[in-house]
Amino acid sequence: MPAEHFGYIRSISTAGPAATLAFDEAEFLTGKAAQKAAEADGAVEPGEHVPNDYYIRNPDTTTRTLRIANDAQITAKRCELCRHGRDGQLGPFLASFMQGRQTYADPYRGRYSQYWLTIEDGEVVAIDEQYVP
């Protein structure tokens, strides 16, 4: 059964028979859950609002290596500024990790963004970019 996980893609490797990525899983929280977690972590003072109503919690930056399916879907459902919300292509997405810092004017942001990975049987079958203000 596929499962969706939020986090950071720290690096990409295309050296083997299949591309792989190093994934640092985190929590993307919104609303009351974000407020409670940010206060507990000391990111905001009690009663101080969480900026933009979200909080990313990432206490453990350990990565795990995951294989990327050759037909993995690259989407922008959570980022309308990314390619105007249109789907992307795996090749250019992987290449973006070899470039310097990109902005939302660029089609991909490589390691400078956050992603939702859909993982099925230990393989990444979909990657959706998360917009953050």
Q: What is the pLDDT of residues 4-27, one digit of tens each?
A: 999 999 999 998 888 999 999 999
Indicate if 88 and 112 belong to the same structural domain.
yes
Q: Which residues pair with 69 in a beta bridge?
A: none
Indicate if 82 and 48 belong to the same structural domain.
no
Indicate if 44 and 106 belong to the same structural domain.
no
Alpha carbons within 13 A on the beta-carbon side of 99: 15
Taking 90 as the threshold, does the pLDDT of residue 103 lie above it? no
Query: For residue 133, how far is the Cα from the chain centroid?
Result: 14
* Average pLDDT of the chain to the nearest whole number: 93
* Final residue in a domain of this structure, among 57, 78, 103: 57
Which residues fall within 8 angstroms of residue 35, CB to CB, at 6 or more apart? 44, 49, 50, 55
Number of domain units in the chain: 2
Token pair recorded at residue 6? 């939020």
Residue 39: which pLDDT band, with cuts at 50, 70 and 90?
very high
The reported pLDDT for the residue numbered 102 is 85
Taking 90 as the threshold, does the pLDDT of residue 123 lie above it? yes
Which residues fall within 8 angstroms of residue 25, CB to CB, at 6 or more apart? 5, 6, 7, 64
* Final residue in a domain of this structure, among 57, 74, 102: 57
Indicate if 99 and 42 belong to the same structural domain.
no
Above pLDDT 90, what percent of the chain? 79
Indicate if 125 and 75 belong to the same structural domain.
yes
Taking 90 as the threshold, does the pLDDT of residue 83 lie above it? no
Q: How far apart are the first and last CA of the chain?
A: 32
Indicate if 126 and 71 belong to the same structural domain.
yes
Could you list the residue range(s) of the whole structural domain that residue 75 is in? 3-26+66-130
Indicate if 70 and 52 belong to the same structural domain.
no
Indicate if 77 and 118 belong to the same structural domain.
yes
Indicate if 71 and 92 belong to the same structural domain.
yes
